A and B are shown apart, each in its own frame.
Chain A
Amino acid sequence: MKRLLIILPFFLIIGITNAQDQKLLSAFTDSYAFETNLEYDKAATLLEKVYLNYVSNYEINYRLGWLRYSAGDFKESENYYKKAMELKPLSLEAIYGLILPTIGQQKYNSVIRLSEKALSISPNDSRAEYFLGLAYYYKKDYVKSEKFLEKAINKYPFDLDINLMLGWTKFALGKKNEAKSLFLTAQRNSPYNVRVKNALNLINK
């Protein structure tokens, strides 16, 4: 009888945990369905309904960071990503996640700090180099921007975003021929891309 009294709570705990896991999984599954239909707000709201039970869960914070970012709520997105970073301080995906709403809010100094942190975890990471290049471009420090984007493009020479960003940086530095060559590479990557078309139109003006 004593043994039964000891084992029962274990089964109860396991049962409750399983039910909670099931509830969380169900919330995640439904949120993906809404996301597929571009209903980010609904997807986030669904997860937020169960959030209080999983405040210390990395995955739910990370996912809510993405969904709130996609719904255009940068401030909330930032809060969720920060929480995810607290829970997994070495998570590169959380750092890069946080960079997105940070860019959305034009906090370029924070973007630089986060990218440097990413580089300290994963040296020579091209994403961190791209974000550093982007942040310095928006801060109008084109020399620094060029330095980081050159590093990134060596690893991904055919990447659309890096080619475009480095093209604009070169253009800003007066290196028009190099810029045009980069825009043309971007065009070969994505012939119908509006950003590329605009860039080529403006440089040919």
Chain B
Amino acid sequence: MKKIIYILLFGLGPLLFAQERNLDEITKDLYLTGDWQGLIYLSSKINNDHFTTYEIEYRLAVAYYNSGNYFDSAQQFEHIINTYHIKGDVLLEYLYYAYLFSGRQQDALLVARDFPFHQEVKTGVKKVKFIDFISAEGGIKLSDNKQNGIENLTYLNAGFGQQLGYRLKLQHAFTHLSQQYINLKYQQNEYYGNIHFQMGKGLTLIPSYHYVSIKKDEFQENTTYFNNNRMNPAENEEPVNNNDQYNTKTNIFHIAVKKQWNRFSISPSFVYIFTQSDQNNAYSKLQYGVHTGLTIKPTRDRLWLGAGIDFLNSDYENKMIWNIKAYYSLGTKAYIYLRYLSAGTSDFTLEDAMYYYNAVSTMSNNISTTIGFYFTPKMSWYVNYQYEINADYDYDLDFSYNTIITGIKIDL
């Protein structure tokens, strides 16, 4: 019925909107009655030139906000601030929350920089949070090829975040994982740190550093099968001493720039991977790629789709890996995240070099599903399942992992 009324109104458009004043009165009525959809519908049908007064534009921004359309609300508030050079308390607070609820936390913090004290108190935003959040996760990678000595992998991770000013966020994570893989028993310790530096609105610089230390114990147990089955028997000619131990250290330097335009983001990245063992074997690898994401408006911004492509260059191989991702918000309390990764290689990074895939075997494909739940706005729990197809070309083996990871994150 409402739509019919609007259509009738537009039928009389030239008469009704001959004067801007009429539009002002109509939008004012819709605003006062809280008819947000009516206001948005009206604005979509009228030439933008009509929206020339501060009041009309403000009403539209509030209409977007109150109908949960935070992306468009943020854009409209930005437009008002830039057009009218007004940065009043109310505008800033709306813009802050519009950014926050559209997942642009660092843009929200940039807005909070202009908050007067009473607004800082009201919103609870702080310039410095020495510990911004803490997180912990653990999981197990279940092997389907234990008969050939590929055992389960256990994984533990703990981390914390920091906010040092309105532009700078840091994240630190410590990981331990261990596995027995055929004739290798290895323990891996990692440190990962990244910085999110907000250079300007929608523009983030993301340098990261990842350190991986691997302690490997090599032994001869269970190798009879492989000595008879290796594709290249010559590789076995040198007998392996019992319990040979050696260490490998990998340093990973990553840098990315992320640019966000309303619902769309793009992030080119560059990674340098350098690995050295205590037997003086060293190799390096370059990884460069681009990742994009788009929030889908017709799903009421619940669905986000992403895709990425990376190229790997080393002395030994030139490879391309790619992935597609989808995030779907199940209301305000839960979400589901899916990712498909096609790799066909190993020793590459994912997610701003947070994950370094350095298995002995080669990952072919990986499908990952995460379901997350917010107990409170500050405490979330998630469980992740991954199915991963691997190949070991040395031993001519195909196998898969079923991985279960669960974690918790608490914002302080």
Complex Cα–Cα for A168 and B120 (A):
11
Tell whether B45 is near chain A: CB-to-CB under 8 Å: no
Tell whether A158 is near chain B: CB-to-CB under 8 Å: no
Name the distance in Å between A21's Cβ and chain B's nearest Cβ.
29
Q: A199, B118: Cβ atoms under 8 Å?
A: yes
Tell whether A137 is near chain B: CB-to-CB under 8 Å: yes
Complex Cα–Cα for A105 and B85 (A):
6
Complex Cα–Cα for A138 and B119 (A):
11
Name the distance in Å between B202's Cβ and chain A's nearest Cβ.
22
Tell whether B5 is near chain A: CB-to-CB under 8 Å: no
* Cβ contact of A104, chosen from B53, B88, B117, cutoff 8 A: B88
Complex Cα–Cα for A42 and B24 (A):
12
Contact A172-B117, Cβ < 8 Å, known A41-B21, A72-B55: yes
Residues of A near B4 (CB, < 8 A) are none
Q: A202, B122: Cβ atoms under 8 Å?
A: yes
Q: A137, B122: Cβ atoms under 8 Å?
A: no
* Cβ contact of B117, chosen from A73, A105, A171, cutoff 8 A: A171
Name the distance in Å between A95's Cβ and chain B's nearest Cβ.
21
Complex Cα–Cα for A99 and B51 (A):
27
Q: B54, A137: Cβ atoms under 8 Å?
A: no
Tell whether A106 is near chain B: CB-to-CB under 8 Å: yes
Q: B117, A74: Cβ atoms under 8 Å?
A: no
Interface size on B, residues (CB 8 A): 16
Complex Cα–Cα for A41 and B55 (A):
11
* Cβ contact of B86, chosen from A42, A104, A137, A172, cutoff 8 A: A104
Name the distance in Å between B189's Cβ and chain A's nearest Cβ.
42
Q: B86, A168: Cβ atoms under 8 Å?
A: no
Q: B54, A106: Cβ atoms under 8 Å?
A: no
Tell whether B87 is near chain A: CB-to-CB under 8 Å: yes
Q: A105, B121: Cβ atoms under 8 Å?
A: no
Name the distance in Å between B89's Cβ and chain A's nearest Cβ.
9
Q: A105, B54: Cβ atoms under 8 Å?
A: no
Nearest A residue to B124 via CB reads A205
Tell whether A88 is near chain B: CB-to-CB under 8 Å: no
Tell whether A188 is near chain B: CB-to-CB under 8 Å: no
Q: A72, B85: Cβ atoms under 8 Å?
A: no
Complex Cα–Cα for A54 and B367 (A):
76
Complex Cα–Cα for A100 and B118 (A):
20
Tell whether A140 is near chain B: CB-to-CB under 8 Å: yes
Name the distance in Å between B95's Cβ and chain A's nearest Cβ.
14
Q: A74, B86: Cβ atoms under 8 Å?
A: yes
Complex Cα–Cα for A171 and B122 (A):
13
Nearest B residue to A168 via CB reads B118
Tell whether A29 is near chain B: CB-to-CB under 8 Å: no
Tell whether A198 is near chain B: CB-to-CB under 8 Å: yes
Residue-by-residue, is B139-181 near A (CB-CB < 8 Å gives 1, otherwise 0)? 0000000000000000000000000000000000000000000
Tell whether B116 is near chain A: CB-to-CB under 8 Å: yes
Within 8 A of B (CB), among A143-183: 168-169, 171-172
Name the distance in Å between B309's Cβ and chain A's nearest Cβ.
44
Tell whether B375 is near chain A: CB-to-CB under 8 Å: no
Q: B85, A137: Cβ atoms under 8 Å?
A: no
Residues of B near A42 (CB, < 8 A) are 21
B residues lining the A interface (CB < 8 Å): 21, 24, 53-55, 84-88, 114, 116-118, 121-122
24 pairs, A vs B, C-beta closer than 8 Å: A41-B21, A41-B24, A42-B21, A72-B53, A72-B54, A73-B54, A74-B84, A74-B86, A75-B84, A104-B86, A105-B85, A106-B87, A137-B116, A138-B116, A140-B117, A142-B117, A168-B116, A169-B117, A171-B117, A171-B121, A198-B122, A199-B118, A202-B118, A202-B122
